[in-house]
Structure 1
Amino acid sequence: MDQTAQRFIERTEQFTQIVSGAQGRWDAPSPCEGWTARDVVAHVVQTQRDFLGQQGFDLGAAPDLGDPAQAWAQHAEQAVSIVRQDGVAEREYAGYFGPTTLGATMADFYGWDLVIHGSDVARATGQPWSVDEEEAAALTAAADGWGAALYSEGICAPAVSVPDDAPPTDRLLARLGRDPGWPTGGQP
């Protein structure tokens, strides 16, 4: 299996665990200002569906987001099935930053989104969340590759300050405009 496809699948599985652990706390506020945990899951489903649809994949009717866990499970099954198809991950297209592959976009943009929004859902619903130093470095490198576009409208808020010796998870969240101390530290 293509390495990028595998990375997307792993990140999908991690997000699924977090969504499964939300225990119906879908209306809890998240670190994404103005969004509940339900809104975060809806965003992830909708953005992936939009991208896959633009790439010519028919995902059928959108899942009912009244039950975010069920909607995510239905969508995740479809998305993983598409990415696993022979030749799909290697398919090239003209991406926002130039030529790329569908697998790279799913792993390094939409998969990146799964990790970061996994943090948002976990923290909104009282679940633990962290990444190891290697994953934090990979996520930060991906964000660095987007340059100023990282802070475009609707992407990430401006970075917040943390001590230089902050744990990798805190440095990553701060780089992406999220207060690592949320909710006790305030909204980003």
Structure 2
Amino acid sequence: MDIRKLDRTAVRETARVLEQADIEDWDAPTPCADWTLRRLVAHMAGQHHGFAAAAAGGGDDLAVWQPAALGADPLTAYRTAADAVLDAFARPDVLTREFAIPEISAGIRFPAPTAIGFHFLDYVVHGWDVARALGVPLHLDTETAEAALVIALRVPDGERRIGPAAQFRPALSAPPGADTLDLVLTTLGRSPGWSAPAAPASAPRHRSGQGDVPAR
């Protein structure tokens, strides 16, 4: 499994999906509870910068992990962050390094393949979050989805998934006929059937639907 290739596929797909966002979409709700698309993408861009810093040995500084300022052109800001992390991961010696990721553990450094695997899983899931917020398809090949499921099944369940700071929610039961991506989502506490809450009649949106319980 080439984790860097898989990660690049997932990250590039998030950028492709975001290219379909209209101006009003940046205030749209997402499957991440209480997060608009703008706030989700600020988090995603910030994590790209954090992982890029970690790849260069600077991940200990919590400041590099903060949500990014997206400014007036959030798509360009996101693409810049995505390019930064993919360039950092592409360095010839990166797989021999250890990454500090204080948001996961303040006292443990992670081997690069493991750390890049964390990043990869996040961007498979966040790619789905963005696609659902926009009401558009997420295109991931079978290899990418199956690799994400392998990593998702290793994420511990239980009490650590409860609370506002939890990265994922407790696992859900998979729906009948669930495909591989659905299994990734339910393993990490997301409902594959999520859609944005219906907009008020006085303020219709071009994409809407009946929502269910969101998962961050």
**TM-score, normalising length: structure 2:** 0.71
Map of 1:50 onto structure 2: 50
Specify the code of the residue in structure 1 equivalent to 2:16. Q
Q: In structure 2, what is the Cα distance between the partners aligned to 1:135 and 1:173?
A: 14
Work out which of the residue numbers 107, 111, 118 in structure 1 matches 2:120.
Answer: 111
- The equivalent of 1:187 in structure 2 is 213
Matches for 1:32-181 after TM superposition, within 5 Å: 32-54=32-54, 55-56=57-58, 64-66=69-71, 67-93=73-99, 96=105, 100-106=110-116, 108-129=117-138, 131=140, 133-148=142-157, 151=161, 153-181=165-193
In 2: Cα distance, 1:185 partner to 1:126 partner: 12
Q: Which residue of 1 aligns with 2:207?
A: none
Deviation at 1:170, TM superposition (A): 2.6
Contact 1:4 1:89 in 2 (8 A): no
Q: Is 1:18 equivalent to 2:44 in the alignment?
A: no
Rg larger for: 2
Indicate if the aligned counterparts of 1:131 and 1:168 stay in contact, CA closer than 8 A: no
Distance 2:17 2:95 in 1: 25
Shift in CA distance, 166/88, structure 1 to aligned 2, threshold 3 Å: closer
Offset at residue 23 of structure 1 (A): 2.7
The answer for unaligned runs of 5 or more in structure 1 is none
- Structure 2 unpaired stretches of 5+: 196-209
Shift of 1:46: 1.3
Q: Give the counterpart letter for 2:86 in structure 1.
A: V
Number of residue-to-residue matches in the alignment: 184
User: How far apart in 2 are the matches of 1:4 and 1:170?
Assistant: 21
1:132–1:169 contact (8 Å) kept in structure 2: no
Q: CA deviation at 1:6?
A: 2.2
Q: Give me the whole-angstrom Cα distance separating, in 1, the residues matched to 2:142 and 2:114.
A: 21
Instruction: Tell whether the 8 Å contact from 2:152 to 2:184 is kept in structure 1 after alignment.
Output: no
Q: Following the alignment from structure 1 to structure 2, what is the Cα–Cα distance between the partners of residues 27 and 94?
A: 33
What amino acid does structure 1 have at the position aligned with 2:179?
A: P
**Structure 1 33/180 Cα, relative in aligned 2: closer, same or farther at 3 Å?**
same
- How far apart in 2 are the matches of 1:164 and 1:39? 32
Which has the larger share of helix?
A: 1
How many Å separate the matches in 1 of 2:45 and 2:69? 11
Deviation for aligned residue 1:139: 1.5
How high is the TM-score relative to the length of structure 1? Answer: 0.81
Distance 1:133 1:76, change over 3 A: closer
1:85-108: CA deviations, max 9, x gaps? 2212332357759664324412x1
